[in-house]
Amino acid sequence: MSALPPFANEPILELRRPAVRSQLIDALSAVDQTLPLEVPVMVGSDVRTADGAAIDSTDPGDPDLLVARAAVASERDVDAAIAQASAGFREWSERSGEERATALIGAAAWMRERRLELTALEVRECAKPWPEADADVCEAIDFLEYYARAGIELDRGRPILQVPGERNELRYVARGVTAVISPWNFPIAIACGMTAGALAAGNTVVLKPAEQSPGCALRIVQALRAGGVPPAAISLLPGEGDVGAALVRRPEVSTIAFTGSQPVGLEIIRAAAEMAPGQKHIKRVVAELGGKNCVIVDADADLDEAVPAIVSSAFIYAGQKCSAAARVLVHEAIADQLIERVAGATRVLVVGQASDLGTEVPPVIERSAQDRVSRYAALAESQGTVVARAELVPERGWFCPPTVAADLEPGSPVLDEEIFGPVLAIERIRDVEHGCEIVDGLPFALTGGLFARDPATVRYVRERTPVGNLYVNRGITGAMVGRQPFGGNRLSGTGTKAGGPDYLLHFVEPRALTENTMRHGLVV
C-alpha cells in the first residue's frame, strides 16, 4: 500500500446551493422507491431475512411510513455470529495494519459514492434534518479514514528503551471478538465508528444496532464488506436490547463497545463483570453514555454570539444529541437580557419534517420519547416558569415543541436528569465560580460550554470543569473526528475519546518482548 495522505475531514455538502438541494430531494425520492428496506441477520456469509419476528423502523415524522423491516436475531443467531467472529479472528488479526486499513478505506469510498442516498436514508429513518444527516455520513467516513491510519500507526508498536545485550519490543495486538452496541441518534457515524475502531485494531465485530435504525446499520455492514472486510469479521444482529444483553453475556466476547444511555451502560458494565464458564478474558467495556450539558455565560459574554449558539446547541436535532445543551447558567447581571433573547429565538424556530430543507427542529425519534419529553415539559411548567415554547408544531409525527424554562427549583428533575429532547433550562448564577460549582456537582460530565471574553475566566473554567469536551465561545455540539476527540467523564463514560489518538487502545492488549542478545547477537 502506498503511503496514505494525511487525514482530512470529509467536506460537508454546500446546502445553500440550489443544485445540491435538488440532488438531495432526488436522492430522497430514489430512497423512497426502495422502502421498506429488508434488513437481514447477517452472520458470516449467511443472510436470514425476517421470517416471523420482525422489527419495523418507521419515519418519526410519518409513523405510518415503514422505512425498514428487520429480522430479529435469535439466541441461535447470537451463537452463530460469535462462532463466526471467533473463527475469523485469526485471519483478520494477522493481517497487517495496512491491509486492514485498505478495507476500511474501501468502505469509506463505498459510502462516499452513496453519500446522498445514505443521507436521505437517515432523514427518513431517524428524522435527521439534512445538514445533520450529511454531517453524520461525513463523520462515518472520517472514522473509517482516521482509524485506518491509527491502526497502521498502532501496528508499529511504540519505541521503548534499548540497552546493550537486550532487545525490547512493545506491540499492540487485537483482543478478540468485539460486540458493538449502538444508539440511533448518530445512526451511521457512531455504529460505524465503534466498528471501524475495533476492526482497525484487528478485532472481529458483531454489531447490534439500535432497534430504531436497522436500515442505516445495514448500509454500514454493506460498506465494510464491499471494502474488503471478510464476512466473518463483521456480522449484523438486528434486535432489541435483549440481543445486546445476550452478546454481553457470551464468554467469547472480550470487548464491548457501547454508546447509549446511562442505565443501559451501567447494566452492561455490571453484566460484563460476571465471569462466564469458559471465559478467558476480563471483558472490557467502552461505554459512551449520556450527559446533562451546561453552558456558562459570564457577564461580559457577547450575546450576539451566545444566543444563536445556545439555541442551536439545545434544539438542533430536537435536543437528541448527547452533546446538546440542557442547562444555561447565566450571570445574574445579564440573565434577563439573555432569557428574553433565547426565548425570542426559540419561539420562531421552524419545527417541521426533517425532509424539509428549512426545518430547524424535527420530531423526536418515537412515541415513548415524545411522552418522556412532554412529562419533563409539564414538570418545567409546574416547578418553574416556561419562558418560551414554539407553538407551530405539526400534528402528525412525534413532534415536541422546543421549550425554554427558567427559575426552576433546585433539585428539579428537569435540571438533574437527561431529557434527551428539546427542553432547555436557564438558571441565574452569582458568578462563574458559582456556575462551576453547579457543573462540578453533577454526576454527568460530557460536554460543556462557556461564553466569556476574559482569558483568565477561560483558564479558570478549563481547570474547574470535569467535562470531557469544553467549548468556549461557540456551540457545544458538532465534534469533528481528529479535531475534537469526543467522550465524557464521570458517569458519562469510560472511553478514551472517539475520533482521538487514544481510541484504538481500547481494542488491543499490549505485549512486551525482551530478548537476550548478548550471547548470540542480534538476528535481523
Ligand X SMILES: NC(=O)c1ccc[n+]([C@@H]2O[C@H](COP(=O)([O-])OP(=O)(O)OC[C@H]3O[C@@H](n4cnc5c(N)ncnc54)[C@H](O)[C@@H]3O)[C@@H](O)[C@H]2O)c1
Catalytic residue among 288, 360, 366, 418: 288
Nearer to ligand X, 151 or 487 (CB): 487
User: What residues contact 370, with CB distance under 8 A and at least 6 apart?
Assistant: 363, 364, 398, 399, 400
**Subset of 191-250 contacting ligand X (CB under 6 A):** 208, 210-211, 240-241, 244-245, 248
182 binds ligand X (CB under 6 A): yes
3-state SS record for 173-218? EECCEEEEECCCCCCCHHHHHHHHHHHHCCCEEEEECCCCCHHHHH
SS3 366: coil
Cα–Cα nearest to 269, from 486, 495, 81: 495
Cα separation, 356 vs 447, whole angstroms: 29
Distance between terminal CA atoms of the chain? Answer: 23
Query: How many positions of this chain bind ligand X (CB under 6 A)?
Result: 32
Q: Which is nearer to ligand X, 315 or 420 (CB)?
A: 420
Q: Which residues pair with 403 in a beta bridge?
A: 389, 423
Residue 106 within binding range of ligand X, rule CB under 6 A = no
User: Which residues face 384 on adjacent strands?
Assistant: none
The CA-atom distances, in angstroms, between 237 and each of 76, 209, 221 are: 11, 7, 11
Interacting residue with ligand X among 264, 294, 400, 419 (CB under 6 A)? 264
CA distance 133 to 24: 11
Show the cell assigned to 407. Answer: 427559575
Q: What minimum distance in Å lies between the beta carbon of 303 and ligand X?
A: 28
Cis, peptide link before residue 230, omega less than 30° from 0: no
Please identify, using beta-carbon distances, which residue of 174 and 264 lies nearer to ligand X. Answer: 264
Per CB under 6 A, the segment of 147-155, 181-189, 223-231, 435-443 that binds ligand X is: 181-189
Contact (Cβ atoms closer than 8 angstroms) between residue 253 and residue 82:
yes
| Residue in 9, 86, 102, 261 binding ligand X, rule: CB under 6 A | 261
Q: Which of 60, 176, 183, 397 binds ligand X (CB under 6 A)?
A: 183
Please tell me what DSSP assigns to residue 56: E
**Stretch (H or E) spanning 284:** strand 284-288
Q: Which of residues 14-73 bind ligand X (CB under 6 A)?
A: none
Among residues 181, 217, 400, 476, the one that binds ligand X under rule CB under 6 A: 181
Asked if 268 is part of the footprint of ligand X (rule: CB under 6 A), the reply reads: yes
| Catalytic residue (choose from 322, 400, 418, 427) | 322
Site for ligand X in 288-347 (CB under 6 A): 288-291, 322
Q: Which is nearer to ligand X, 210 or 345 (CB)?
A: 210
- Tell me, yes or no, if 138 is annotated catalytic: no
- The DSSP call for residue 155 is H
Nearer to ligand X, 314 or 322 (CB): 322
Phi and psi torsions of 16, nearest 5°: -75, -15
From residue 403 to residue 442, the character string flagging contacts with ligand X as x (rule: CB under 6 A) and all else as - is ---------------x-x----------------------
Is 288 an active-site residue?
yes
How near is the Cβ of 488 to ligand X at its closest, in Å? 5
Residue 473: CB minimum distance to ligand X, A: 23
Which three three-digit cell numbers place residue 420? 434527551
Which residues are part of the catalytic machinery?
288, 322
Chain residues in the site for ligand X (CB under 6 A): 181-186, 190, 208, 210-211, 240-241, 244-245, 248, 259-261, 264, 267-268, 288-291, 322, 418, 420, 446, 487-488, 493
